[in-house]
Structure 1
Amino acid sequence: MFGQKKQLVNAQQQPQDSVIAGSEQPQNIVDEASYDIVRNHIFTTIEAGVATKLSAEQLAERILEAVTSIANQQRLPLNYQAQQQVAELILADMLGLGPLQGLLEDESVNDVLINGYQQIYVEREGKLSLSSLKFRDENHLLHVARRIASSIGRRVDETNPMVDARLADGSRVNIIIPPLSLSGTCISIRKFSKQSLGLSDLADSGSLSAEMATFLEVASHCRLNILVSGGTGAGKTTLLNALSQQIDNNERVITIEDAAELRLQQSHVVTLESRPKSIEATAEVSLRQLLKNALRMRPDRIIVGEVRGNEAFDMMQAMNTGHDGSMSTLHANSAVDALVRLENMLLMAQSNLPAVALKRQINAAIDLIVHVERMRDGVRRIVSIDEIVGIEGDQIQLHPLFSYQAQGELHNGKLNGRYISHQHLPRCLDKIRYFGLEHVVMKLLEAA
């Protein structure tokens, strides 16, 4: 039995497609009917309270013993290998997330999108494809959704049909269920990247040019205030992580997020995470409340994972009151759209202030807007780096420093394009000169 347990546990740790998920892999040798019979018996005989007290190894052993016993009693056509596979699937159901477990362990998968129990889409290298995996039925999918929610003290039901959550590995999850979703239970998972990519790594992958990487390294090190804009899944958080690597180890940095995704390498980092109202009716703590509190914590820099509402006003206040080098992200279609969205957020927070006063705050607070896009070939690129240079009339003025220009398509489907330096002398050169790095920027302009 010890040998069986060891073999089962080792096998369970390997990412596999579930046979119930409709995998086309040859090692899946269990038919759905036999699996359902065994699973139903086990879930009615193993008490949940007892199962939770067992270690993974002990539970694996109990499940394998139960599968063997049920297969013999019901005279099911399951040989020893098939019994092991059934046990693995049931263990994944009990301890993991069923057919999702293998996808979460697959490092090539960036996003998992579930549209009802029969459709699971995965994104690899920026491209979405329909997986052969599926849940048994809607109840199975809803069970997994509720497990995800309950793991962080939340609930998902008809009275609370939408949930934002975070898995133990840091992956971000959104759940929406009927009656709001007419497609059945929908789960969207943005996986947490275990790799910490630097700007040079992003340049090597074609996300920006070497000159742009050098400039952004200088900008981050010299404590310019940077706003990263882009669409969903464009790579804003990845870029923010890369920019943060240039922060000096002696600076006190406070990060504020809805779901903690930033992974700063510095030694003096305080991580704050907002809190929604929970099952126990604990009070909600918003990003804006955290930002106000962070200002009392003597930060050198404040990094907000994403501004999307009233907290934008407090972020501008922080940037304008001695917290140079602060950064944040914003959903927008371009750098110009980012400014419009930011102005609207500030108006929401301070509707009694004239628009020109809010524009002056933006002009004084933000140095650079870096816009990223996931382009049609699946590659995430920095398509523009713009500097805010002042206000003319009633418009905030942007000067492009770098941009990406698509010039066609290669035979492999990848875009053919080039990164352009616009050779504008940056207004922020004075800040860069203070840190003694203006010669690096001047060399970049000369090389262009």
Structure 2
Amino acid sequence: MSGYRGFAGIDPAGPEPVAGETSDELLVRRLKRLLLEEVDLSELGRLDESQRRTRLERVLNHLVSTEGIILSTRERTNLVRRVVDEAVGLGVLEPILADPAVSEIMINGHDTVYVERYGVVERIPSGFTNNEQLLQTIDRIVSTVNRRVDESSPMVDARLPPDSRLPRGARVNVVLPPLALRGPTVTIRLFPRRYGMDELVQRGSIDRPTAELLEAAVHARLNVVVSGGTASGKTTMLNALSAFLPDHERIVTIEDAAELSLDQEHVVQLETRPANVEGRGEVTIRDLVRNALRMRPDRIVVGECRGGEALDMLQAMNTGHEGSLTTVHANTTDDALARLETMASMSEVDVPFHALREQVNSSIDLVLQLIRSPDGTRRLVEVSYLSSRRRDDFVLHRLVHWDPRAAGPSGTTGNFVRHPVHPALADRLEERGERVPDGFVRAESASGADVGGGVSWS
């Protein structure tokens, strides 16, 4: 892909005529060319983005008037914004990025754009004029993080830091032809706004007693795994749990793309690095987990375990780094344990299967399961305590589960059902100065279904 000519991608000669171009698109091209003739490029280069946009909008309003273009106030505003967006911004993506309800943007070729709002994916009517315009926008996006994508390197995955256009930051993935058969494909995941546990309670994603139980568990240094499918809210829950970490502890976070936002003072954020165009320089999650153990962390927070780093994470949880947090892709709590066991076996270290089982049993305390419903609702549907030890088969005891058929508050359907707290868990909480929250009761026995429906499996 060739770079831009002139300032901010405006070509002094003007783009070539495009078949099927509408009168609006022709007008935008014409105004972009006139704009370049009017502005002082050296002056614009000294301004920040906000000042640059203000300057260009002022010039464009003058051009619209001198050209005798008759428009209503609203039409003029929209036209000026569109021209400036294409000149110094991201074109048709600008209004989408400004919508706080949008969490993901999916571009499947220049004329097909989908967005996700509140968990629901929908196609929007606007699109890019042609592949050339989309490629220019892609070039502008990846160049902000000193990356490039072209025929010789047709894939890129990068994190965009927060700025005036992306106050939350984003992760962008680009795939170009010939790998993408239907044209340039772009996926932009806008990092979620941080929700505290109180907000999750208000949204119905979790109930108050369960939130208090999780707070007590984090304070008591229990190791917690957050499980769920894609876009089920794992990072949001991990952020909410991280808010309970003490301010005086040294916390190391490890992520593929830095999405977590912690308010504590003593936080070290680590992020992976992909290989360069020569295939060198890659730094993986596992590399960072191993290095984190040399950084004297009190707690380790891994954005997602999905490979051999699971073994290092389990060993860290079991050797003085209690109270650590991580997420895993799985559809149920027992699947999450099986996934951790399988991923730990992916390490180059030859560990017997029974030893891996012992690592999981010794390391994990709580497993949280999240789902995204068909209507886009994200909810905690289960919290389970892993009571098995050593090389025994996994035994999970439910503490909470979501019952869609149970009577809810104010006559609604669907509610959180709480179960007795396993005695070992209650003891752990009390030993660390915490208590079993109101709304829960301590179980009288630690046997089977008497304790929250214990399930044993091998």
TM-score (norm 1): 0.83
The aligned counterpart of 2:243 is 245
The aligned counterpart of 1:141 is 134
Greater Cα offset, 246-255 or 197-206? 197-206
4+ residue segments displaced more than 3 Å = 40-56, 62-72, 75-87, 278-282, 391-395
Please tell me whether residue 179 in structure 1 is matched to residue 172 in structure 2.
no
The amino acid across from 1:346 in the alignment is A
Residue 277 of structure 1 deviates from its aligned partner by 2.8
Please tell me whether residue 344 in structure 1 is matched to residue 342 in structure 2.
yes
How many angstroms apart in 1 are the aligned matches of 2:400 and 2:301?
24
Deviations 1:76-108 (A, max 9, x none): 745595665444223222332211122222212
TM-score (norm 2): 0.81
The amino acid across from 1:61 in the alignment is R
Q: 1:326 to 1:110 in 2, by over 3 A?
A: same
Please tell me whether residue 444 in structure 1 is matched to residue 440 in structure 2.
yes
Greater Cα offset, 140-149 or 87-96? 87-96
5 Å matches for 1:111-190?
111-169=104-162, 170-190=169-189
How many angstroms apart in 2 are the aligned matches of 1:326 and 1:71?
62
Q: Secondary structure at the match of 2:346?
A: helix
How many angstroms apart in 2 are the aligned matches of 1:119 and 1:66?
29
Contact 2:257 / 2:272 at 8 angstroms: preserved in 1? yes
Please tell me whether residue 428 in structure 1 is matched to residue 422 in structure 2.
no
Residue 288 of structure 1 deviates from its aligned partner by 1.4
Deviations 1:223-259 (A, max 9, x none): 1100101111110000001101111111110111111
How many angstroms apart in 1 are the aligned matches of 2:150 and 2:235?
30
Please tell me whether residue 61 in structure 1 is matched to residue 55 in structure 2.
yes
Deviations 1:376-431 (A, max 9, x none): 12110111111112169874222221111222999xxxx93221112242533332
How many angstroms apart in 1 are the aligned matches of 2:106 and 2:295?
38
How many angstroms apart in 2 are the aligned matches of 1:403 and 1:278?
45
The counterpart of 1:93, out of the listed 72, 86, 91, is: 86
How many angstroms apart in 2 are the aligned matches of 1:409 and 1:97?
48
Query: Alignment length, in residue pairs?
Result: 412
Please tell me whether residue 418 in structure 1 is matched to residue 415 in structure 2.
yes
Contact 2:397 / 2:422 at 8 angstroms: preserved in 1? no
Contact 1:99 / 1:134 at 8 angstroms: preserved in 2? yes
Q: Secondary structure at the match of 2:440?
A: helix
Residue 219 of structure 1 deviates from its aligned partner by 0.8
Higher fraction of helix: 1
How many angstroms apart in 1 are the aligned matches of 2:313 and 2:41?
46
Residue 275 of structure 1 deviates from its aligned partner by 1.4
The aligned counterpart of 1:371 is 369
Q: 1:409 to 1:178 in 2, by over 3 A?
A: farther
Residue 357 of structure 1 deviates from its aligned partner by 0.6
Residue 350 of structure 1 deviates from its aligned partner by 4.0
How many angstroms apart in 1 are the aligned matches of 2:403 and 2:292?
40
Contact 2:254 / 2:302 at 8 angstroms: preserved in 1? yes
Deviations 1:172-213 (A, max 9, x none): 22222222222322222222234x322222122111122211
The aligned counterpart of 2:209 is 211
Q: 1:47 to 1:176 in 2, by over 3 A?
A: farther
Greater Cα offset, 87-96 or 379-388? 87-96
5 Å matches for 1:317-332?
317-332=315-330
How many angstroms apart in 2 are the aligned matches of 1:58 and 1:209?
47
Contact 2:361 / 2:390 at 8 angstroms: preserved in 1? no
The amino acid across from 2:245 in the alignment is I
Contact 2:386 / 2:394 at 8 angstroms: preserved in 1? yes
Identity fraction in percent: 40
Q: 1:426 to 1:35 in 2, by over 3 A?
A: farther
The aligned counterpart of 2:5 is none
Greater Cα offset, 359-368 or 180-189? 180-189
Contact 1:112 / 1:189 at 8 angstroms: preserved in 2? yes
Contact 2:209 / 2:437 at 8 angstroms: preserved in 1? no
Residue 50 of structure 1 deviates from its aligned partner by 7.0
5 Å matches for 1:236-385?
236-278=234-276, 283-350=281-348, 352-385=350-383
The aligned counterpart of 1:22 is none
The amino acid across from 2:196 in the alignment is G
How many angstroms apart in 2 are the aligned matches of 1:43 and 1:191?
32
Residue 41 of structure 1 deviates from its aligned partner by 5.5
Unaligned runs of 5+ in 1: 1-29
Q: Secondary structure at the match of 1:61?
A: helix
5 Å matches for 1:2-21?
none
